[in-house]
C-alpha cells in the first residue's frame, strides 16, 4: 500500500476514534480518572480509544508492532511500529478544556514515515507521509518565516517529572518572557508541535516527553520545513526525552539559548 493511501486510512481511523472520544466527553465526570504519577492521569476514555486504534491499525498493517502510552497491547519490536497516543492532553480532556489530540505515527526501522494528529477541539487534521508534503485539513502547511527569537511566539509544557530541572526551566520562562513575542502553554505537546508546523508558533521546547507525545507531530514539522533536535543538539528527539522544534530560521539561535540554560546552566 502506498504511504499516501495508508495515511488516508489512518485519518479515517483517527476520525472514527475521535467520534468515540467526543461522545464520551459529553457525560464525562472530572473526577473519573486514575493517577499514573504526579499530574499524569489516565481515563477509561484513553484506554477505550487506544483499544479502538490498536484494533483498526492491526487490520491495516498486521505485521506492525506497537509503542503506546496506555499499554493496552503488548509492546513489540518490529520493522514497522505504530507509535500512538489516544489522547495527548488528557488533563485538558478531564477538565473539558481544549486542546487535546489523537496522535498516530508509523516508523520503519526507527525512522518515522507517516504522522497524523487530529486535534479534536478545532476538528483539525494535521498529517504527512514520507515523500509527501504536510497538510492541515487538505491545505498544504509550512513553518513560519520568523527569523529571530525576539520576534518568535514560543510554546512549551510545564514539567510533571524530573523536578530537579525546575530551576533551569523557570530560568527559560523568565528569559523568553523578556526576549520573545511571548510564551504559550496549551497542555498538549502534539498540538504545540503541529502549530509550529503550520506557522502559528515559531518554536517549541520541553523535557520529560515520550515517543508517543512527539513522533507524529514532529515528523509533520520536518515535512513542513522545520527542524528538530534534543537539548544537546542531537537528532534523538524521538526517544531522547527532550525536544527542540522550530521553523528552521530561528533554530540555531533558539537551540543555543536552550543549551546554555539547560546543559551549561549559564545565567543569561
Percent of the chain residues topping a pLDDT of 70: 96
Inform me whether the pLDDT recorded for 190 exceeds 60: yes
pLDDT digits (tens, 9 = 90+) for 233-244: 999 999 999 999
Inform me whether the pLDDT recorded for 38 exceeds 60: no
pLDDT digits (tens, 9 = 90+) for 154-185: 999 998 888 889 999 999 999 999 999 999 99
pLDDT digits (tens, 9 = 90+) for 86-142: 999 999 999 999 999 999 999 999 999 999 999 999 999 999 999 999 999 999 999
How would residue 256 be classed by pLDDT, with cut points 50, 70 and 90? very high
Average pLDDT over residues 244-251: 99
- pLDDT of 71 reads 81
Residue pair 215/112 in contact (Cβ under 8 Å)? The answer is: yes
Instruction: Please report, to the nearest 10 degrees, the dihedral formed by the alpha carbons of residues 2, 71, 214, 242 taken in order.
Output: -140
- pLDDT of 36 reads 55
CA distance 254 to 115: 25
Of 250, 189, 245, residue with least CA distance to 221: 245
CA distance 249 to 17: 36
Question: Measuring CA to CA, how many Å separate 42 from each of 39, 87, 248?
Answer: 10, 9, 35
Our separate counts of H helices and E strands in the chain read 7, 14
Average pLDDT over residues 21-33: 81
b or e along 139-169 (b: 16 or more beta carbons within 10 Å of the residue's beta carbon)? eebebbebeebeebbbbbbebeeeeebeebb
Whole-structure pTM value: 0.95
Residue 107 backbone phi and psi in degrees, to 5: -115, 155
CA distance 131 to 214: 20
Domains assigned to the chain: 3-140 (3.30.540.10), 149-263 (3.40.190.80)
Amino acid at each position: 500500500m502506498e504511504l499516501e493511501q495508508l495515511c488516508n486510512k489512518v485519518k479515517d481511523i483517527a476520525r472514527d476514534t475521535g467520534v468515540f472520544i467526543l461522545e464520551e466527553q459529553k457525560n464525562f465526570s472530572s473526577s473519573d480518572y486514575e493517577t499514573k504519577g504526579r499530574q499524569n492521569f489516565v481515563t477509561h476514555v484513553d484506554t477505550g480509544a487506544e483499544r479502538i486504534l490498536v484494533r483498526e491499525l492491526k487490520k491495516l498493517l498486521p505485521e506492525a508492532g506497537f509503542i503506546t502510552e496506555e499499554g493496552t497491547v503488548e509492546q513489540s519490536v518490529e520493522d514497522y511500529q505504530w507509535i500512538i497516543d489516544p489522547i495527548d492532553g488528557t488533563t485538558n480532556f478531564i477538565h473539558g478544556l481544549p486542546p487535546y489530540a489523537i496522535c498516530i505515527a508509523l516508523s520503519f526501522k526507527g525512522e518515522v514515515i507517516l504522522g497524523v494528529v487530529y486535534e479534536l477541539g478545532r476538528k483539525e487534521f494535521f498529517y504527512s507521509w514520507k515523500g509527501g508534503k504536510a497538510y492541515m485539513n487538505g491545505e498544504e502547511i509550512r513553518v513560519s518565516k520568523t527569523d529571530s527569537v525576539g520576534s518568535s511566539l514560543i510554546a512549551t509544557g510545564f514539567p510533571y517529572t524530573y523536578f530537579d530541572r525546575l530551576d533551569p526551566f523557570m530560568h527559560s520562562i523568565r528569559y523568553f518572557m523578556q526576549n520573545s513575542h511571548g510564551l504559550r502553554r496549551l497542555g498538549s505537546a502534539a498540538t504545540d508541535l503541529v502549530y509550529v508546523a503550520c506557522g502559528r508558533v515559531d518554536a517549541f521546547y520541553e523535557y520529560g516527553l515520550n515517543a508517543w507525545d512527539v513522533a507524529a507531530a514532529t515528523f509533520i514539522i520536518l515535512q513542513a520545513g522545520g527542524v528538530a533536535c534534543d537539548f544537546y543538539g542531537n537528532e534523538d528527539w524521538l526517544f531522547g526525552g527532550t525536544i527542540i522544534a522550530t521553523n528552521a530560521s530561528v533554530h540555531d539561535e533558539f537551540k543555543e539559548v536552550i543549551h546554555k540554560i539547560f546543559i551549561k546552566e549559564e545565567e543569561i
